[in-house]
Amino acid sequence: MKKLLATLLAVPASLLVGHSQTAVTLSVNGVNPKHTISRHIYGHFSEHLGRCIYDGFWVSDSLNVPKKDRIRLDIVEALKKIQIPNLRWPGGCFADEYHWRDGIGPRNQRPTMVNTNWGGVTEDNSFGTHEFLELCNLLNTEPYVSANVGSGTVEEMAKWVEYLNFDGISPMSNLRKQNGRETPWKVTFWGVGNESWGCGGNMTPDYYADEYKRYATYARDYAGTRLKKIASGSNGNDYNWTEVLMKKVGRQMWGLTLHHYTLPTGNWGKKGSATAFDEQEYFNTMRNCLQMEELVTRHSAIMDRYDADKNVALVVDEWGIWTDVEPGTNPGFLYQQNSLRDALIAATTLNIFNNHADRVKMANLAQTVNVLQALVLTQKEKMILTPTYHVFDLFKVHQDAKLLPVSFSSPDYTSGNKKLPALNISASKDSTGKVHLTLVNIDPKNKLTISTSLAGVKFGSVTGQVLTAAKLTDVNSFDEPNKIKNVAFNGAKKQGDQLVIEMPAQSIVMLELK
């Protein structure tokens, strides 16, 4: 053990936070895994909000960065590296005031619009359907389109589906061809409204269920493209909404959404700073993050009563930390920095989704660029990758792999008389036989020694990466863009048939066994 402790990490000593050690026994079951971790759990969300689309993905002709048309290619290349499987657009609350025909045709003839939800800015509609689908093509990702139910019409959604997916002769396919696209895009993921309980129309669940069925009826499956229709689901712990939708809609939807944001203070009025917080606020933030486990479990249990075969997906298409905006920025633009704390939130949440892969089939972090828990931040020509980006880089190994059940008793992370599980884990086996474990230690003081037995798993070597920092408040800045990044991890060793892991405090570790 002394030899093992002496070879902990290939990282600077300043990152080895923690002054005490706790032992954990972990078992991983690799015998006949049943469930696949859908790659779509690793999806993202890009709304017309702040600087996500305009001055994010879609930049001025004069900006001196690599571009295709006005799509910023350094962002594209970064997102391709983490293999994003889908991208949700155009909202969010924006979706229910967006009329798609305003965003097609010659750009100099498109009408402007006021984004009443986010900052009251006037948009020129230069980024519309064709631009979004070209972005998805460059990203090699699947589009997830949210249709307007709140202020739109059944006809409007039906004709958008036809415009995108019909390969015959019709007014919409002819219009698409006139606008430069000969063949249909065959978009399968369609959201039927967004947050219909709130900004999407302030509806009751019964009223929305009827509206969903009406809109979904006319959203047609054209040849070669069967739609995956996603109903607007619950706001956090509104379990009645899920009950009503499952009872009244059921198998008429491919998926049902759930939205949950982690607020540091738990208060929408004063959410807390992205960078200036103490350990007590950190503890409260992680407690609010871990509510996702209860939400997913309880919503899944309701869905199970109506859908025992788990045909309807739980789609967590908005999640992440939401803090106060950075000082001096437009409060309607939701621009926030991204710290090690946010990386721990992302990794913990992804582990929760992985372990519920029987029901959670899709999720979308909010949001991709310059908004909320972003993967990418930009400042004119400069671009930085946030700690959250590096989490998705670590976790991409789970996409479409078989979930391996894990069993362990987590040590407590304590604050006064309150406690949280310090450790969370998920494991999978990919198509080549490699086994991957992602482990998160949220405790900022205590290291963990994890002794692991792996039933049905034979391996000869273990390699890994770790993401950590000296302080929970550390960020990647435009002056110091690589302060937090994934580095080699040498704290896992094969000992006989067992795997022993020495895990630092406040860290995320990904291990590969082969």
Contacts of 171 (CB under 8 A, 6+ apart): none
> What's the Rg (C-alpha) of the chain?
23
Give φ, ψ of 366 to 5 degrees. -105, 120
CA angle, 160 as apex, 165 and 233 as ends, to 5°?
Answer: 100
Contacts of 308 (CB under 8 A, 6+ apart): none
Q: Could you tell me the two tokens for 143?
A: 């589009």
The DSSP secondary structure of 108-175, one letter per residue, reads GGSPPEEETTTTTEEE---S-HHHHHHHHHHHT-EEEEEE--SS--HHHHHHHHHHHH--SSSHHHHH
Catalytic residue among 47, 131, 211, 318: 318
Catalytic residue among 123, 195, 211, 502: 195
Region of 264 (left: φ > 0; alpha: ψ -120 to 50; beta: rest) is alpha
Cis peptide bond N-terminal to 367, omega within 30: yes
123 part of the active site: no
Other Cβ atoms within 10 Å of 318 Cβ, number = 25
Cis peptide bond N-terminal to 444, omega within 30: no
d(CA 30, CA 459): 12
Q: Is 398 helix (H, G, I), strand (E, B) or coil?
A: helix
Residue count (the chain) = 514
Paired sense of beta strands 86-89 and 43-45, if any: parallel
Contacts of 4 (CB under 8 A, 6+ apart): 493, 500, 502
Please report, for residues 319, 385, 466, 494, the alpha-carbon distance to residue 12 in angstroms, rounded to integers and kept in the order given: 32, 21, 12, 23
Region of 496 (left: φ > 0; alpha: ψ -120 to 50; beta: rest) is left
Residue position matching structure tokens 């896992």: 492
DSSP 8-state symbol, 500? E
318 part of the active site: yes
Q: Which residues are catalytic?
A: 195, 318
